[in-house]
Structure 1
Amino acid sequence: MSNDYIPPFTMTEEITNLTIEIGQYVGMIATYELLHPNPVLRRENRIRSIHSSLAIEQNTLSLQQVTDVIEGKRVLGPPQDICEVKNAYEVYEKAAAFDPYSIQDLLTAHKMMMTGLVKEAGCFRSGNVGVFAGTQLVHAGTPARYVPELILQLFTWMKHSNYHPLIKSCIFHYEFEYIHPFADGNGRTGRLWQSVILQKWQPFFAWLPIETLVHENQEAYYHALQMANNDGESTVFVEFMLQMIRDALKELAESQNEQQKKSNVGIHVSVNVGKNVGINEQKVLLLLQQDGRLTIKVLAETLAITPRQVERIIAKLKKQGLLIRHGASKGGYWQVNLPDK
Structure 2
Amino acid sequence: MVADLTSSDRNAVEHPRHISVARVEWQTVLLTGVIYSGFVAITWFWESLPLILVVVLGGWLVAWHGSLQHEVIHGHPTRNQTINDAIGWPPLSLWLPYPIYRQAHLVHHRDEHLTDPIEDPESSYFTQAAWDRLGSVGKLVASWNMTLLGRLLIGPFVMIASFLAQETVMIANGNRKRALIWLQHGLAVAALLVWVMVVCKMPFWVYFGFVYVGAALTRLRSYAEHRYADHHDERTAIVENSPLFGLLFLYNNLHVLHHQRPGIPWYRIPRLYRRDRNLFVSMNGGLVYDGYLDVARRYFLNPHDDPRHPRHSLPSEFAPVHQESAASTVPVQLSGA
TM more than 0.5: no
Per the normalisation by structure 2, the TM-score is 0.29
Which of the pair has more CA radius of gyration?
1
